[in-house]
Every structure is written in C-alpha cells, then in structure tokens.
Amino acid sequence: TASVAPTGCLGQFERCVLSALTAWLFHRTGIPAYIVVPRTAPRCKKAAIQAYSATLVPCEPSDESRAETAARVVEETGGITVHPNQEPAVIAGQGTIALEVLEQVPEVNALVVPVGGGGMIAGIAVAVKALRPDVKVFAAEPCNADDCYQSKLRGELTPNLHPPDTIADAVKTSIGANTWPIIRDLADDVLTVSEQEIKQATRLVWERMKLLIEPTAGVGVAAVLSEQFQAVSRDVQNVCVVLCGGNVDLSSLTWLTDLHGKAE
C-alpha cells in the first residue's frame, strides 16, 4: 500500500522550492503527498505544488496552526511528516549549497543566507565551518520577523510571538529547536533589514541582474547593501548571497508603485 507523506508546516515550507520538490518526488513514486500551506501563501506557490498532483491542506499563518494541521493530516492519513527545516536530512541536503559555492568560488569570504525556520543556513553553516572555518556565515531576516536576531541577542530560542507582517513570506516562520543550536554556535552574525530595503533590493536585482527573485531572496541582497554589513571587516571582499527563491506572484506587485525612483 502507498503511504502518505505530508510535509510538516512549522518552518520554511512556504519556500516553494522545497514544497514543490516534495510534491514532484512523491508524484514520481506514486505516493500521495499532502502539503500543509498557509491560506496567505502566494497563488504561484500553491499552483506549483498542485501541478505535481499534491493535495494542498490550508492552515492559518502561524506556527501553532501549521503544527496542529500537520498533526491532524498525519492522524487522518497514517502518513509520516517530512519536516521542512528541522529534519536532519533536509538540513544536510541544503548544506550541499555550501559545497557547491566553496568548489566554484574558493576565494569566497562570506555567505549571506535569508533565515526563516533555519534549515538552509544551518546546513550551510555546518558545511562551511567544517571545510572553511575562515569563511563567515551571516543570517539575514526582516526586522518584522527578527526571531533569529532576538535569539542570538538573548542567547536562547526566542520565536516570534505573532505572525510577522513582512513581504518576505517564506521567512515568516521562526527558527526551531534543531536549527537554533547550529545557528547559535556557527552563524557569525544576524543582519536585519526593513521592508523598504527588501523591496528596493528585490527591484535592484530585477532591473540590474535580470533575475526574477522573490522578496525573500531580496532579504539577503538588502542585508549586504545595509549599513550594518558595511561595518563588517574589510577582509570580507567576496560575498555570496544565496538567492533562495524565485516565486513571484505577479498580481501582488502593487508594492512597486510605493517605491520612489529607480533602484540604486
């Protein structure tokens, strides 16, 4: 009998890369997949998941609702949960990003990674610090969703108390119990950026680099352009920004009219 593998929804599952890939893998193997998705997720991300015959299960945009909904789906279907950012295998898999960067750009001095649930930066940090401890790893997140920054500042896991209000939808979730110790010990610093900075950075990449990134990826670019990053040691000259998503809901681009002038 086929088993059902719903993905847990406690973290960065809104990154369509992971959710759509999960749906594709189970579609290829003939195993039903249930993807728990916040009702506020962009339509383009939902469409990408449904294109691979996965079943979307809506939930409220909060960690509690995501956990409760995923648990209910598991109970009803008898499936297993594939956690999007706290699962060790997922963390390790995302760490291969660092392996590719170090191989292709050995002169790199630092990596800047947007952080939500923390699976991506945790995997990257483990790989980087094991192979090149001299290379710095920076987390980047919106000021409106700064649980990683607050956790680092306080020295303890400090999740967001309320659903964050940020255009970077894929990093609205908080870091978790498995990713926090790795980030605490291996991430060199956490950079926070405003909504305006995220929008401007996203537009900059669209206009100058001709790459269609989503605002979550723009968080990393905004961090590198921020005054906070300018204070980093001058030894950091070659910086890799992980552009972690390109799922843009074209119907939501009304925020572009709020920006004055052109990207600088």
CATH number of 12-77: 3.40.50.1100
Taking the CB of residue 122, how many other CB atoms lie within 10 A of it? 32
Q: What is the pLDDT of residue 223?
A: 98
Count helices and strands in the chain by DSSP H and E runs: 10, 6
Q: What is the pLDDT of residue 229?
A: 95
DSSP 3-state assignment of 115? coil
Q: How many CA atoms lie within 13 A of 74 on its CB side?
A: 13
Cα gap 16→262, rounded to integer Å: 29
Cα gap 134→72, rounded to integer Å: 45
Residue 121 · residue 140 · CB < 8 Å: no
Taking the CB of residue 41, how many other CB atoms lie within 10 A of it? 24
CATH architecture of residue range(s) 88-258: 3-Layer(aba) Sandwich (3.40)
Beta-bridge partners for 136: 110
Domain boundaries, the chain: 12-77, 88-258
**Weakly modelled stretches of the chain, pLDDT under 50:** 1-17
Query: Do 88-258 and 12-77 have the same topology in CATH?
Result: yes
